[in-house]
């Protein structure tokens, strides 16, 4: 089957029931998505499918025909990091970094849906993403920073 990942189409031959996570990591070499629980419970494997966060460990690759998949490797625009990536760095919102790709993609999904979320909305949307290092407060701060940056950019463009 053909998979559209980060704007590129790749042909893969695999069991359609195989989890997307393993195809991304082992066939396409995209190791940003991490294996945590394998049961959809931790968020380490989160990717965007048509712009919305999904758990790739419980997503059969066979269901991906015609869908657009984005991993953390595909978020930056050339040398420019995505505002959420930049905000995670600026807010020091990581310790070991294992949860970070999933956290970032979950955050991108949130901000696409709700560009100016309240702190409570952020905590609720991020609730299924686990950070064993306990950096939750800094992650919330990073999302708030990214929301401000994205909103300011949008206003700048409108007034340009």
Q: Which residues bind ligand FES (CB under 6 A)?
A: 35-38, 40-45, 55, 57, 94-99, 131-133, 135
Nearer to ligand FES, 17 or 157 (CB): 17
Closest distance between ligand FES and the C-beta of residue 34, in Å?
Answer: 7
- Residue 87: CB minimum distance to ligand FES, A: 15
Directed axis angle between helix 100-113 and helix 136-159, to 10°? 40
Q: Which is nearer to ligand FES, 35 or 151 (CB)?
A: 35
The answer to whether the beta carbons of residues 48 and 109 sit under 8 Å apart is yes
The helix/strand/coil state of 4 is: strand
CB of 18 to ligand FES, least distance (A): 14
CA-to-CA separations, 147 to 73, 109, 129, 143, 144, in angstroms, rounded: 21, 12, 19, 6, 5
Cβ nearer to ligand FES, comparing 94 with 150: 94
């Amino acid at each position: 089957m053909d998979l559209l990942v980060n704007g590129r189409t790749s042909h893969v031959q695999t069991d359609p029931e195989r989890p997307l996570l393993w195809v991304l990591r082992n066939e396409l070499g995209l190791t940003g998505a991490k294996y945590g629980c394998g049961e959809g419970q931790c968020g380490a494997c989160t990717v965007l499918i048509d712009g919305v966060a999904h758990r790739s460990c419980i997503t059969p690759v066979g269901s991906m025909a015609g869908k657009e998949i984005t991993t953390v490797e595909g978020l930056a625009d050339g040398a420019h990091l995505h505002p959420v990536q930049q905000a995670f760095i600026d807010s020091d919102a990581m310790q070991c970094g294992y949860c970070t790709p999933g956290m970032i993609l979950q955050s991108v999904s949130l901000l696409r849906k709700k560009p100016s979320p309240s702190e409570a909305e952020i905590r609720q949307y991020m609730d299924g993403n686990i950070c064993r290092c306990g950096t939750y407060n800094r992650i919330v701060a990073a999302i708030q920073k990214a929301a401000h940056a994205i909103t300011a950019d949008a206003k700048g463009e409108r007034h340009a």
